[in-house]
Every structure is written in C-alpha cells, then in structure tokens.
A and B are shown apart, each in its own frame.
Chain A
Amino acid sequence: MSQALIKFQDVTKTYITGPVKYQALKGINFSIRAGEFVSIMGPSGSGKSTIMNIMGALDTSTTGEYLLKNKNISNYDGDELAEIRNKEIGFVFQSFNLLPRTTVVENVKRPLMYDGVDKNQRYERALEKLRLVGLVDKANNLSNHLSGGQIQRVAIARALVMNPSLILADEPTGNLDSKTAREIMKTLVKLNEEGVTIIVITHEQNIADFSDRIIKLKDGLVASDKKTRKR
C-alpha cells in the first residue's frame, strides 16, 4: 500500500458569523493514496464544499490536521497556501473556469506565470496539456467562444499544466448535458489511468460511479467510505 497523499485527521471546521456558530465539519478522518480516483458525495449541508475548500488549500481547518504529502498545511499563511494551490492542486470548477475574453492558451499558461516558469517554456507546456485533452487546435480561440464541454476540458488542461499531486474537481459536470458529462468523466478516467490522482466532489451518483472509491458525507461526518465495484 503506497503512502497517503492526503490525510484528514479529526478535521473540524466551525464558521462564525456574528453570534451564530455553525460547525460544518465535526471530525473528519480519511486518507487518499496517490493514483486514486475518489468521489466525495453528500447532500447540500453535508460539508462537502468545506472539505473541498480545505483539501484545495483555499481554507484551513479549525482543529485537526490536514496532511498533504505528509506536510501539515493547516497552519499555512495566505502566500504559502497560494503556493500549494499553484504547485500541488489543479482545480476544475463547475462554472467560471476560464478568464473571459482571454485565449485558451493564455488561460492554461496562467499557473505557470505565477510559478515563474520561463516565458518560452510556458507556451509549449500549455500546448502539451491541450493536446492531452484534444483541444490543441483551439489554443488561440477566445474562451468565450467555446462550448461548455470544451471549457471544462480547457480547465482540465490548466489543472494539469503544473503537474500537480491531485486534480480537484468541484461538480465538474454540473452545467453539462449528460452526453458531454460522460465525455468529461471519461477524460478524467483516462488521466487517472495515466496515474493522476483525481478527487471529484459531486451529488450525482452516476458521476460518482466513474470513480473507484466513494466517500459519503452526512452532517459534517463521514457516513460511508467504500470501493466501487466498477474497477
């Protein structure tokens, strides 16, 4: 059994808005190994967005530890978290994935710019990932001239461009028709087969079925954590 890429240990998260305290996570424990394809499911209010935010280094836990590649990043400051997001995590969101009126290749290149990668290498590296998702011919198109499925594939290319430890997809097919949704999920499956760790947050069972493990949440706790029989 390979080492855990992600480890949640008694992670809690409490939101305080004025006098109101709300505990979104009440002690989450699980770990994910490199190369896994995991779906995190749950109804709204179950805490899946909170988990996604913490896992994506967009937010930190209130108590407990979040270990990413054995580093506890729970106490990182803003700039350190930005660097983790840049280098270790590739995001695919449900909507607003791309900068408006900016070319496809500019969008894919952007994380490389924040990492200070040499300008001449960026274009090549972006094209390489666009080739992987089959959109190399759209490299110089403006992002707002793409279809919903193409946008998600560009987002995947951008998520891959830094060769991160994991791809974190938050309802990646939420805005797509079922045929396109299947295509996107197949793209993710293919990447996973090539060794990329993929975590999908979804509330749709048929989407979760593409993964090889499903963690179900309920009321801020892990309700079940099972391998699927698919693979």
Chain B
Amino acid sequence: MEIEELFLLAFQALWRNIARTLLTMLGIIIGIASVITIMSLGAGSTESIVGEISSFGANVLTVSPGQSKRSPGGSSSIVTTLSSEDAEAIEKLANVEMVSPVVNKGKTITANSESTSVQVSGVAANYTLIKSLEFVNGGFFDEGDVLSAAKDVVLGDEAIEELFGSDAAEFVIGETVRIDGRVFQIVGIIVDSNEAYVPLTTAQTVLLGQSYLDKISVYVTDGELIDVVTLDIEELLLDEHDIDDPQAADFNVQGSQTFVETISSVTGTLTTLLSGIAAISLVVGGIGIMNIMLVTVTERTKEIGLLKAVGAKDRNILNQFLIEAVVLTVSGGIIGILLGVSIAFIASQMMNIPFMVTTSSILLSFGVSAGVGIVFGYYPAQQAAKLNPIDALRYE
C-alpha cells in the first residue's frame, strides 16, 4: 500500500467533514501562527535594536565606574570613582582618537512657567563628534566654553517643545532656561532627543559639585582595534588606581558590541519565553485533535470492521488513521504558517521594525505540527487498529 494513497484517503475522509476538520485545526492554526509571529517579531526587533546600537559607532568604548570587589574596609574607598586624570591618561593611549568625559544627572529645567525633567550631561566639546549628534538649529559649545565653564546648554527638540511649544526650535537659540535655578543660554537644539548637554566643567562645578566622572566615552581610531584598546585601558586604569587583581577592578570597559550581545541575549530569551507560551496552545490543539480522532474512530467503527473483513491488517488501519491525524495537523500548520507570516508582516510594518521570517522557524513549525499529529493521533489510531472485526461489524 503506497503512502500517497493513504494521504489521498486521508484528504477524502477529512474533506467529508470539512467544517469539523477546520474547527479541529483551529487550535494548531492559532498555535503555529502565534509561534511564527512571535519568532518573527523577536528577530525583527533584535535586528532593529542592534542596528540602532551599531549606529552609535562600532569604534566607541564606554568606561564606567564599577563596584570594587574588594572589601569595604580596604585601603581607599574613593577608588570607585573615575577621575578627569583617568580620562586624560586614556587620551594619551595609542589608537585612541578622542576621549569625552561625562557626568550626568536627572534635572528639572524651567523656562517661563513651563518645566520638564531631562537627563543633563556634562560633556567635553568633542562629544558631538563621538556621538555624531544632529542639530535642528544652532550647534554644540566649543572647548573655550568648556574651559571657561560657560553656562551654555544644548537641548533636545522634545524638551524644547515641552518648554516653548511646538515649532519653537526656530527662534529659541539665545533664549535662557533655568537648571537648578541657574540661568543657561540655549546654543543648540538636537534632533529626536529629550536630553540636555552642558559643558563638563559647568556641570561639575555649578550643577553637581562633583569632581569625579560618571562615564568616559572613548573614540578608537579603528573599530578593528577595539579589543586591543579595551585591554590597554583596563591595564592603564588598574595601574592608575593601584589595583593588582583584575577581578577587583573598580571600572568597566564596554564596547557597543557588548551592548549588542546583551540586548540580543535579552530579546532572545524573551522570544523563547513567549514562543514557549504560544507552544502551549499547540498542546491544547493536539488534545483537540486526539479528541476528534477518537470520535472519528467511534463513528467509523463499522467502516473499520468492513475494511478488516476485506483484508486490512491492524497496521493498515493504524497507518490510515495516523496519517489522517498528521494531514489534519500539517494542513493546520501550513495555514498557521501563512497566517503567522501575514500577521508578522503587518505588525512589523506597524512597529516599524524589519520584517524577518527565518526558514528555520517555518521548518520548525512544519515539523512540530507533524509531530503533534503523530503524538496525539497515535492513541486513537491504535484504538482503531485493535478493534475486533466482528465487534466492529456488529457495532450499531
């Protein structure tokens, strides 16, 4: 008996009860469609986030202060801080093009009677080069402003809108705002941002009263050398901070690659988790299949008796019903894949992320739906196969 005939028989049997067939498949359709959609959106958003991070520049390293693993009773507890000297030392390293020390803190900015909360960063004049900031109007402060601790501020256009209303970006250059009650002059407005930048020296002395740094952005001459520079910085800072054990380092050096890895791992975990939840509906769908197949076997008891009378062996009956279950789930799987891909496409357009469907997720869905058919179709098929022909023929 050829396998293709069994498939044909299965299609015929399922077609006879098309409404029931479709309803039974629904569980599988929904399960497969959700898995495909979630996997696709997961891959798309990872791609989108990774793309965004990479656009920061593959040759930017961030040095941030970290928790020292030494006991609190150790020699000096002040080592958890990055200093301006550290920044200057890093700048002298080979393959380092620029260094921008950063301090930051959330502050409330007021202008007239409006106020808004923003992250205020004190940075060097070269920060705009490292981050490739784009301006709506005006520009960044220069080195002279940093040396003189000028009360200049560069604001994001979103903050400007909060304070001065929409379309204010055109005319607010030169206007003043207050940060912690101190007057700052707006010198530039950046695109798509809710941040505020002031000269580092101004931030340290006037706003925060801190001499240490929160972050040092390091611009490496060549992205290929990022690992080398990372090691150099680690070595340098361990030396500067007088630490022997690298495990006890009181700072972290991270490239954008590290962020990418972290983000990918987070979205990957989330995708797996959500797919897992969606997969539960496949199990529920499978139980539905088993239920309907058991009903089918009961309904077709006389037919099974007749087939056995004309020479069907137990395994012929088993195969016939098993293939029927597999055809049911695989058809559901195919419809689910098409539905999932469509939903993923529409959703990715709406979420403005890349549309990504992997072949592996489609093959996986196909395999899983066939697997569900075999697993949940086996018991009913076995019930059919082991029917006694006399009892089956006499069944009313």
Contacts and interface: CB of A to CB of B under 8 A. Distances in A.
Interface of A: 53, 56, 58-59, 78-79, 82-83, 85-87, 91, 93, 96-102, 110-111, 113-116, 119, 158, 162
Given A58-B389, A158-B310, A119 B2 contact: yes
A122 B351 CA distance: 58
A114 B310 contact: yes
Interface string B303-314: 100111111111
A111 B390 contact: no
Contacts of B306: 93, 96-99
Interface string B179-213: 00000000000000000000000000000000000
Interface in B264-311: 302-303, 306-311
Interface residues of B, number: 20
Contacts of B62: none
A158 B307 CA distance: 12
B313 to A, nearest CB: 4
Contacts of B393: 58, 93, 96
B314 A78 contact: yes
Nearest to B1: A113
A110 B389 contact: no
A87 B5 CA distance: 21
A158 to B, nearest CB: 7
Given A53-B390, A113-B1, A82 B302 contact: no
Given A91-B309, A93-B306, 16 more contacts: A56-B309, A58-B393, A82-B314, A83-B311, A86-B310, A87-B311, A96-B393, A98-B306, A99-B306, A100-B303, A101-B16, A102-B12, A110-B310, A114-B313, A115-B311, A119-B2
Contact of A82 (B2, B303, B312): B312
Given A85-B310, A119-B2, A158-B310, A114 B302 contact: no
A111 B311 contact: yes
B310 A111 contact: yes
A90 B313 CA distance: 16
B8 to A, nearest CB: 10
Contact of B307 (A56, A58, A100, A110): A110
Contacts of B313: 78-79, 82-83, 114
28 contacts: A58-B308, A58-B390, A58-B393, A78-B313, A78-B314, A79-B313, A79-B314, A82-B312, A82-B314, A83-B311, A85-B308, A85-B310, A85-B311, A86-B310, A91-B309, A93-B309, A96-B302, A96-B306, A102-B12, A110-B307, A110-B310, A111-B310, A111-B311, A113-B5, A114-B313, A114-B316, A115-B311, A162-B311
A119 B306 CA distance: 21
B209 to A, nearest CB: 88
A72 B306 CA distance: 24
A86 B309 CA distance: 7
A185 B390 CA distance: 25
A197 B303 CA distance: 26
Nearest to A115: B311
B321 to A, nearest CB: 14
Closest 5 CB pairs of A and B: A86-B311, A114-B311, A82-B313, A111-B310, A96-B302
B390 A85 contact: no
A59 B390 contact: yes
Which among B12, B306, B307, B314 has the highest number of chain A CB atoms within 10 Å? B306
Contacts of B314: 78-79, 82
Contacts of A96: 302-303, 306, 393
A115 B313 CA distance: 10
Given A99-B306, A100-B303, A82 B311 contact: yes
A199 B380 CA distance: 36
